[in-house]
Amino acid sequence: MPLTIHSASGLHRFNVEVARTPAEQQAGLMFRKSLGGDQGMIFPYDPPQNVAFWMKNTLIPLDMVFIRADGTIARIATAKALDETPVPGGEPVAAVLELRAGRASELGIREGDRVEWRR
């Protein structure tokens, strides 16, 4: 599914997989060995909720982009591969976008930027 982030540095387009079901959300990007710069996975939540992610069985480091119901980015955190320490969103979120670690910084994506995707 296409996803676009609007930031001060421009429009950034990604093709993301959607983790809709509890089983898909539990598996996430586990056991993947790579993730392209324009790829990711989004985890939608309806209604928005407080969530925390960890990296159990996740072999690649990831940026976790926590997205509010209005589409703005609440928080960006980078998680290490295989780290089971929970990474909280810090507030109720409507979605979490996972990207290759460091990608948000490379593109100049910041908290407050707007994310658009078909829900």
> What is the predicted pLDDT for the residue at 87?
97
pTM, to two decimals: 0.96
Cβ(8)–Cβ(108) below 8 Å? yes
**Predicted confidence (pLDDT) per residue in 49-61, tens digit:** 999 999 999 999 9
**pLDDT surpasses 90 at 118:** no
Confidence of residue 46 (pLDDT cuts 50, 70, 90): very high
Strand 73-79 to strand 2-7: parallel, antiparallel, or no bridges (unpaired)? unpaired
> What is the predicted pLDDT for the residue at 119?
74
Across 33-49, average pLDDT: 97
Domains of the chain: 2-117 (2.60.120.1140)
Q: What are the two backbone dihedrals, phi and then psi, of residue 104, each rounded to the nearest 5 degrees?
A: -60, -45
Say what the alpha-carbon torsion angle 19, 100, 9, 43 is, to the nearest 10 degrees: 10
